[in-house]
Amino acid sequence: MGGPPNLAQCRSRWEDRMTGHRFRISIVRFIASYFIAVAIAAFATSARAQANIDVDEHRTTPVPHRYIHGILGDAKFQIALPDNWNGEFAMGARGFSGDENASGAFKTVGLQKGYAYALSDQGWNRFTIIDQPEDKYYESRRRILQLTQYTKALISRYYGKPARRTFMVGGSNGGHNTKMMVEDYPEEYDGGLAGYGITSHIEWMGSNTRFVRNFDVIASRIDDIIAKRTARPNWDPATTPLSPPLTPDQLQALLNIYNMPAHVGGLAFNIGRVPGSEYRWPPASAKWPLGSYTAILGYATTSVAKFDRFYDPNGDGVLSLEEIKAWDPNLSPPPVANDLRRFDNTGDLQHPIIIGHGSHDPIVSPGETLVYKRLVEARFGVAGARNLLAVYFIPGMGHGGAEYDAALPAMFNALEAWVDYRESGGRTGSPPPNVLVGGLGSYPRN
């Protein structure tokens, strides 16, 4: 009665309501924060992705290394960690027809030089993708990045320190993906070796169907065409007829193979097959063992329906062989280009790339590499482009081959020296050589 009032017992009903209100707000905020934290953790776990390992063993060839095989997301992968590690990582990219085991010489040479190596099947297969609605060509980007980050973390745990450098390496579609990943993720990759790669998938597939439908017209005269080209390398079929002469349709079809207008990144280019490569055009046979017609047709038959979901000329729901050969992406509705143009290389490089390409490649035209060089030049100027891109054409080589494989050690060395040179401001290392000396020849820089 005589002491000061207990303020804790003298709150108004309004104050009581406010206290309860604040308590409810605190509870709501706590619950919201909890679920946000759970969501962030789940996202982070998803982003890291947990691999299911089915093989983890030590192998001795080509050099002693730890070999790991498993599945990450829905993509199968392999990882090779050499005993004699050089402190760096070569992330592979497979060809259009490959899987996680289709490493070519990149893995062998890389391991021999001490690189850790990894390769993904990218979550799709060329021969089954048409029957798998959830599989997309564009999935490659995500799966390559996912395996890159997973392997980097594994390297750090296994060797006790992170990789000093990471390079992208691959040929054909892997050459395309090497350019794509170095362009799009400069924070992940320090450079790349991009062999004989596609620059625009939509133009590449369009060139395949153009090739086969025009070759069909000249097939009966291909022996004569090859003989004439062999005897006269500078032969112009438009001014010097064969004997007997080609029909007008045959002559036009031959010219259509040499000259295929295409465009990428606002640049027009020729994606046609190079004069002199005719001996690589027919179906493979005892007479023409390097022939590629069947392979080129195979790319079209397994891919056109997936590339262009609207294409069905007679509306029967099935594409015949002749309909596949007739496909022209220039006649496809806009959504097709909108989808496939996402694959186009851009030339927007921050780190250096070395390209080797066969001058007689019938699968991916040398024109694709020439226009890629122009894309880089369009962004950085001719001099600036030479600080980011080195191109070497290998005379007479087709779609990859022994010459390229034998040049890979020199390419790895050149890329290392180039990155050293750029990072040191020219104090160490060197720019790419004006002549690349490979195991089976020497190739001037383009």
**The two structure tokens encoding residue 70:** 């498993």
Task: Report pLDDT digits (tens) over 361-399.
Answer: 999 999 999 999 999 999 999 999 999 999 999 999 999
Mean predicted confidence (pLDDT) in 229-257? 98
Q: Which of 88-92, 308-312, 434-438 has the lowest mean pLDDT?
A: 308-312
pLDDT value of position 102 = 80
Mean predicted confidence (pLDDT) in 131-145? 73
pTM over 0.95: no
Question: What does the alpha-carbon distance between residue 306 and residue 83 come to, in Å, rounded to a whole number?
Answer: 42
Of the pLDDT bands very low, low, confident and very high (cuts 50, 70, 90), residue 132 is low
DSSP H helix total and E strand total for the chain = 12, 13
What is the four-CA torsion angle of 76, 338, 343, 331, rounded to 10 degrees? 100
Non-local (6+) Cβ contacts of 118 within 8 A are 77, 78, 79, 80, 89, 91, 92, 147, 148, 151
Does residue 368 contact residue 393 with C-beta atoms inside 8 Å? Answer: no
Residue from 411, 398, 415, 400 nearest 437 by CA: 411
Q: Which of 32-36, 101-105, 173-177, 269-273 has the lowest mean pLDDT?
A: 32-36
pLDDT value of position 15 = 37
What is the four-CA torsion angle of 142, 143, 144, 150, rounded to 10 degrees? 110
**The two structure tokens encoding residue 68:** 């790991």
Mean predicted confidence (pLDDT) in 406-428? 98
pLDDT value of position 2 = 38
Domain boundaries, the chain: 15-48, 202-341
Q: Is residue 46 pLDDT above 70, yes or no?
A: no
Of the pLDDT bands very low, low, confident and very high (cuts 50, 70, 90), residue 101 is confident
Of the pLDDT bands very low, low, confident and very high (cuts 50, 70, 90), residue 287 is very high
Of the pLDDT bands very low, low, confident and very high (cuts 50, 70, 90), residue 30 is very low
Mean predicted confidence (pLDDT) in 80-102? 92
Mean predicted confidence (pLDDT) in 231-251? 98
Q: Is residue 11 pLDDT above 60, yes or no?
A: no
pLDDT value of position 134 = 55
Question: What does the alpha-carbon distance between residue 108 and residue 255 come to, in Å, rounded to a whole number?
Answer: 40
Q: Mean pLDDT over all residues of the chain?
A: 89
Give 175: exposed, middle or buried? Use CB within 10 Å, 0-12, 13-18, 19+.
buried
Contacts 24+ apart (CB under 8 A), 149-152: 149/48, 149/188, 150/48, 150/49, 150/51, 150/72, 151/79, 151/89, 151/91, 151/116, 151/118, 152/89
Of the pLDDT bands very low, low, confident and very high (cuts 50, 70, 90), residue 129 is low
**The two structure tokens encoding residue 401:** 């081959």
Higher local confidence (pLDDT), 386 or 42? 386
Q: Is residue 23 pLDDT above 50, yes or no?
A: no
Residue from 307, 244, 240, 230 nearest 276 by CA: 230
Of the pLDDT bands very low, low, confident and very high (cuts 50, 70, 90), residue 133 is low
pLDDT value of position 7 = 30
Radius of gyration of the chain (CA): 28
Q: Is residue 152 pLDDT above 70, yes or no?
A: yes
Does residue 185 contact residue 122 with C-beta atoms inside 8 Å? Answer: no
Non-local (6+) Cβ contacts of 191 within 8 A are 165, 167, 168, 182, 351, 352, 353, 354, 415, 418, 419
Q: Is residue 68 pLDDT above 60, yes or no?
A: yes
Residue from 207, 184, 322, 344 nearest 264 by CA: 344
Mean predicted confidence (pLDDT) in 295-323? 94
Non-local (6+) Cβ contacts of 216 within 8 A are 325
Higher local confidence (pLDDT), 366 or 309? 366
Q: Is residue 40 pLDDT above 50, yes or no?
A: no
Task: Report pLDDT digits (tens) over 185-220.
Answer: 999 999 999 999 999 999 999 999 999 999 999 999
Non-local (6+) Cβ contacts of 126 within 8 A are 96, 97, 299, 302, 303
pLDDT value of position 141 = 85
Residue from 311, 302, 277, 312 nearest 291 by CA: 277
pLDDT value of position 47 = 40
pLDDT value of position 20 = 44
What DSSP character marks residue 278? G
pLDDT value of position 190 = 99
